[in-house]
Chain A
Amino acid sequence: MNSPVKSVIESILFISNKPVTLSHLKNVFDKHSNEKILSIIKELQNEYESSNRGFRIQLVAGGYQMTTNPANFDHLKKFMTEKRKISLSLASLECLALIAYKQPITIPEINNIRNVDSGAVVKNLLAKSLIKILGKKKTPGKPYIFGTTKEFLIHFGIDDLKSLPPLEEIEQVLE
């Protein structure tokens, strides 16, 4: 087993269907430091970028994942026979935004801010595993409390919940 580390990392990222964390990679290469592994990933990223390859490596949900080159999207769309609906409704997104920023949060609390009954939207998000039940609140009625999942981070290409911009700055980010 003396295949170059870079080649192995590339293979691992290629075969994995979920983000691969640094500690996962570390388990494979016990002799290499985190810095070394990170720098190799960086090297791969640069290679793909500079030679305009069909892959990209993203840092998402605390792990690395190999994706397609977004420039190829239109062609790939033609290739994919199975049409996956990826975009969420604005109502779902609004609800999700609330849950992402205010988690843990209950449905009554969501309704209160949105001024619209959000039960159905929450159920839909739950079915898509973008959110999960964290437990029950110890208030009358014991409502469920909700929080976002890893799938949420993957869906939006977010590395970490901490990397969400502060609510106050979102308007600037949009511009």
Chain B
Amino acid sequence: MNELEKEIQDTFKGISIKRHSPKRVYIEIDKEGAHELARFLYEEKGCRLVTATGTDTRKGYEILYHFSMDKTGIIYSVRTVVPKDNPKIMTLASFLPATNWIEREIWELLGIEFEGHPNLKRLLTAEDFPEAYYPLRRGE
């Protein structure tokens, strides 16, 4: 565990840090904490948002925010789970424009609502694509 990971461990409650391989680290946190952790990584530590991955899992809809620390070449993936009966999470686009498109994409393909997003409308699918049909949800 390096200094940054120790600092994350001390600052944020209820998290688990897993090192998958030397340059790939996964951090699990609840959805309120994920927003703060993302802000901490971007604003204070100078990490770059690579992208986010939305996945339908048994536990809920999982979002992985992949941050790259370019100085060390380590990717920190912040993992958080959004409940299926209320798929809502705070947007990161309010302070990080790089998440603007990817949050729109996750919203239209997986149906997670990003609260406070400045322009939450369709990015990839056609205008006549059916409403409230999310191709990346299992069983749809």
Is chain B found bound to chain A in the same assembly?
A: no
